[in-house]
Structure 1
Amino acid sequence: MTLARVFERLAGAEAPVEFTAYDGSRAGVPGADIRFDIRSPYAVSYLLHSPGALGLARAYVTGMIDVNGEMITALRTMQQVFNEVTPREKARILGGVLGDPLLRAAVSRRLDPPPQEAPFSRIPSWLRHSKRRDAKAISHHYDVSNTFYEWVLGPSMAYTCACYPTPDATLEEAQFFKHDLVAKKIALKPGMRLLDVGCGWGGMVMHAAKEYGVRALGVTLSKQQAEWAQKAIADRGLSDLAEVRHMDYRDVTESGFDAISSIGLTEHIGKANLPAYFSFLYGKLKPGGRMLNHTITRPDNIAPSRKENGFINRYVFPDGELEGPGYVQCQMNDAGFEIRHQENLREHYARTLTAWCENLDEHWDEAVAEVGEGTARVWRVYMAGCVLGFDQNWIQLHQTLGVKLHGDGTSDMPLRPDWNS
């Protein structure tokens, strides 16, 4: 059996893709829009010995497989194939390669994971989310290269779901609209004090300072993010109002904030820590203050909050945990917040990720030179896969607005939402 034919068997003869291999063999549909080029016989080992689609991802990250064609389309085409290989299928494939010494040797060998796979991504849950470990997990993903992120994210440097005011809005317009939507929901006004936890490169902090005259403090566990943000704040003349610190949100000593934003941090907190997280934020607010929680969620509370063998956990967000929107809202409510509004921006995140994928493709050669081909490949497949996740409702994005009531039960909220006017 030729190498290309092995992959055709793994994918299924009905798959609308073409396979080529370094040995000159070809299989699948000639001239298909998506073509997999197999560069090494050891790619078969990854597919047979890794759980589910993780093997295909490992072979791609290492360069043993190349994908020709648009990555989102490739994953959409292949999502029903390359599923976990059953014992019967494995035996059939093994039998087909026994006559080829090279393929036989490749299949029999278990390869180590690529170096881009986080070595600390698979430990017992009770060991996760200490301050030291959270810092390590955040650094794994965010301390890649500020230059790389500038190419992927664009000028806004906002690494969270944008909100598109119109279907034809640009990514930058959508990120500005998202920051402004958050600002309006938490009713920012000149002279207020804002705490932005998990602030990234300071996008919300700078927006609040520049557009609303707010004194804004942002905190992040990423040293590279904090350094970039502080320079951007200075360059934009906002140092009197805005500050970003490299620190754990749990180490913020100030209190009495008028508003709090948490944009893309809750995913990193861990299910067991959500009660303490929201209680901490509640304690930092003045009565009448609002808190906006913006987080990726699961569509339900039934499936596990993390996939131990999943690509995202191993390569992208070690220790990340996603909960259902109802569970997140419940924890906010039990911490003392009165929930006043919630909305799902799922489709907006699919659009955001598509724009990031396009940015990466446009800067592919520079990105490879900056962070290495393996890391660039991780990002290419991760973001494309997430587009499908949001498009097909495997994952969602919820903004939940809570308020800390005064002692007499008053909320200082308008009778009707006023942030869409």
Structure 2
Amino acid sequence: MKVSFLSKSKSYSDIDNIELISWRELIDMNKDHLQKIETYSLNLIKEKMKKYKEYTSLIPVSMGKDSMVVAYLIRSLYPDTKAIFNNTSLDCADTYLMVKAFPNCEIMNPDKGFYQYVDSDHMIPTRFARFCCRIFKVGVMVSKLDHEHPYLMWMGMRNEESSTRAGYEDEWINESEWGSTKWQGVLPIRKWTELDIWLYTLWKNIDINPKYKKGYSRCGCHCACPYYTKTTWVLDRYFYPKAYARWRKILRDDFVLNKKWLIMNCTMEEYETQAWNGGTFRDEPTQEVIKEFAKYNNLEVEIAQKYFNKYCSECTYGKDKEGNPKPTRIKSKEVLAMNMKLHGRNTNKFLCKKCLKKLYDMDDKKWDEHVKSFKQAGCALFDKEE
């Protein structure tokens, strides 16, 4: 592929010598290449259609650039092929307007939307613990379609997207999400590059999601996607202020409800603007973190400090990089409060809930009864009884 954007120059700072070319010129320069990859993909589609002639073809579309190209290729050969859109309930208005206008496309809605799920289950997706794709992106389709019916899924995944997808072949089955279904996936554009996608899209005048034109590199779940970059958060705040504000309020409420000062070692502002989509923010809490935790929980700073980075003195959980057993970290404010209530506020020995229950011969019912009685008595170590 030819990608000649610049004339010869000694430095990128020498802007007077930079000669930009138009998209149309770049398409013309690469017309042979685009026709070649188009022919390859169309032949692959016809080959797989013949191989799986007893299957029902479906095109899962997200209104992103890759799935739109796949839909264009498939329908250029088989115009009546049905598309399906898995409504994550988290896409932007631009995407929903686009999918409503997309012909022969079934919108699959979840039983409970993302925000409802977050509210009822108190789950915030992170890069290390995601539930959103499983439940809202793939899960909706899996729950709606017949597992015993042979479906041929035309997918828009490409090898260059990630190290995982680099190993994908033309035929692919999502075993972890689809389970024991009779479905088969085919990846007709897996060898295409991102530049291929954009040049082909412009060449064939394929619809483009307006979100790309606003500076986004992808158009999937916005605001709450843990894989979006912090640069994207800036775009969200500018282009989708209501959705941005709604998500930030959810983050603040979650931070307070789940006492994430103790889990993340960060302030509420740091969590909201930097840390919510990852793990522990820092190894040790700063004085600002401790003071903020004390303020929100009506504790003296000296007592509040005892809640941070406490480990069970009896049991371990996993191993560190050197292979040594790691003590179980206690993150629950309730468990830490029980330690100080039962052992005294000046205790330096803490136990996890399992070990504490074992020491005092408590089952879950007795534990809850003790916690309730301490709250009703007005003990400042515990959250107030609601």
Structure-1-length-normalised TM-score: 0.27
Higher relative contact order (CA 8 A, sep 6+): 1
Bigger Rg, structure 1 or 2: 2
More strand by percentage: 1
